[in-house]
Structure formats: structure tokens, C-alpha cells
Structure 1
Amino acid sequence: MKRLAMMGGLLLLCISFPVSMEARHKVPRYLNKESTVDMSNMNRIFVGWVDLGPDDWALYGYENKTDWADIIGSLNSSFSRNLVPGRTTVSAKDKGDENAAGDNLYIKFSDVRVDYNNYHLILSIHFIDPKTNSEIATIPVRPYYGNDWGLKNYLKAALDEVGTKVQLEVTGVTAQKKQK
């Protein structure tokens, strides 16, 4: 009987441990439109740079700053490519590029931090009218979870979550994606 109780306890521990580890990374998905501004008629969108800190290259295990800067550039490029389907999007070329002239909407990202331990990309999103240079909506600082292996892949997955939120705010609807 003692052996059975010990095996049962061990089995219960093995079943509950992965569940508690998964809960550690649980971040709510924000799939409701939070802004009151109707941005659905804005067809030319300038997408700002998601600054992942090129000086943090050693912190994330890269051999030099250039390698990490290349990763940042490729992540920004792939992120903004199809951010809002059916709209013309222009991407920032680098951190200092904020030239949104001729566009209807400027999407700016600030307070960007990478939480490597919990697989979170933390940032806030600002929607700016380039004609008046005034902020028309903002999404506060919050974490976006990237469920993938390796720094680059988890940041790409987290940026996909950010993209889902941006698409929802701009169009009012979001494409149904499979959640991993």
C-alpha cells in the first residue's frame, strides 16, 4: 500500500509540474478593440521601428553588435511587411526614421523591453495622426508572449501577437489565427 501511495504521489507530481510551468508564461491575449477611434478608413500606414536595443547584443548571447543589429532589422522588416492586410504600409528603415509624411496613420512603438526569462516582448503602441502630429489612441505598456524556441523565433512570435493587436485596433477585426 505504501508503494502504491508513493507511486500515486509521484505520478501526481509529474502531471502537475508541466502545468505549473506553463502557467508561468501565461499572458492574456488582448483581442478586444480598446481604442474608440475609427481607423478603418486609414489606408496608408507608416509603421515605426521596434527598438530592441542594439547595444544589448551581449546580453542575448550574440558575438557582436552587428549580428544582433541584423536580427533586429530582419525582425522589423518581417513584422511590418503584412501588418495590416489590404493597406499600404511603409516601414521605418531604422530607429530614427519617423518620416510619416503622406501617410494617414503612424504606428509608433515605445517602452520596448525584452523579458528573456518569461518569453515576453513588452511594449506600448501609439497611433498618431501624421497630419496633426497628435496621438489619437494608445495601448499601454503590456507583455506579448512569444511561444517559440530561441530568442529570434520567440521575438518573431511575440511580434505576431503585437501585429494581431495592431490589426484589431486599425481594422476593428482580427484574422483568426491558430494559437500554439
Structure 2
Amino acid sequence: YYRNQPNSVDLSSYKWEFNLVDNAQVNAWCMPGGKVVVYTGLLPVTKNEAALAVVLGHEITHAIAQHGNERMSQAAIAQGIGVAGNVFTSGNAKANQLFNGVFAPGAQVGVLLPNSRKQELEADRFGLIFTAMAGYNPQEAIPFWQRMAAAGDGQKPPQLLSSHPADETRIAQLQKYMPEALKYYKPVR
């Protein structure tokens, strides 16, 4: 399945490593190259193997879609533009102050955060398919993300200022992606 996707990368160089870290934080993450970390604080929210498979599928997608590399490239470009802007406005303190007051937040809100949210939704989509291909019911993603929303106790920033989509957006997109994922679901039990 993955090899047939546009821009797929060769997975033979990935050294997959899965780690459970004793930490109360409700989180998981993946580094480029395939090192996945799940914090024990996430386990009560997952509640079952299928929800954990949803998490792992999501994190694996971040690695194989090279989201970390994309974020580093975007940040480097933004930093380069910032340096150029500072050089260009260095002779005029007001212009420099205006540039710095507008550029950094503008780049963050206008480019970096929206791209991060897009990557999160891509990880959700392909993560559902990988979950299904592994024999776990991808439909468990919906109640899992509902539990994640409840675990946040409303403490999340507005979507515009967040690297992750709003809970409602994420759940709506998962429902949209579900028919595609279910095509690959063959229970193994």
C-alpha cells in the first residue's frame, strides 16, 4: 500500500524502535528514522489495543512521511527570511522593529502552524489505514480522540494558534477518512 503512494520513501533504512516511557504526560511522538515513544500517561486514555494501534499508526506516519524533516526545512526557510529582513531593515530601527513584530508571528500563524496541522491530519489518515492493515479496528480512533479531547479539559489553544487541529476538526476528518481505512480492515482475531 505505502509504496504505491506518491512521494513514498524507501523504508529499508528505518530502524524501528518502540519505547514506553514512564511519564504521566498524555503524549506520544516519533523521531525521523523510526524511533517511537509512548508515555505511560497515554495508556489510560487509549484503554485498549486498537486505540494504541491508532496512536502507533499515527506516529509511524509522521516518520515515513518525513514530517520532522519538513518542519525543519520550513523553520530554516523562515529563519533565513527573518535574517534577510533584519539585514534589510537594520539601518532603520522603526522598520526593523515593525518587521520583527510582524514577521515572526506571521510566519508562525500563517505558515508553520497550518503546515503542522496539515501533517497531523495526514498522520491521522494514513495512521487509520495502517491500523486497519494491522488487523485493528480503525473505528476505535473516534472514541480515542473523544477521550483525548476530554483529557485536555478545554486547556488547548484555539486551532489558529495550535500545531494540532482542534478536536472537532480532527474527529470530523477521521470520520471522513474512515470508509477508506475500513477497506483495509481484516480482523486478525
User: Which one has more relative contact order, counting CA pairs under 8 Å at least 6 apart?
Assistant: 1
Higher strand share: 1
Higher helix share: 2
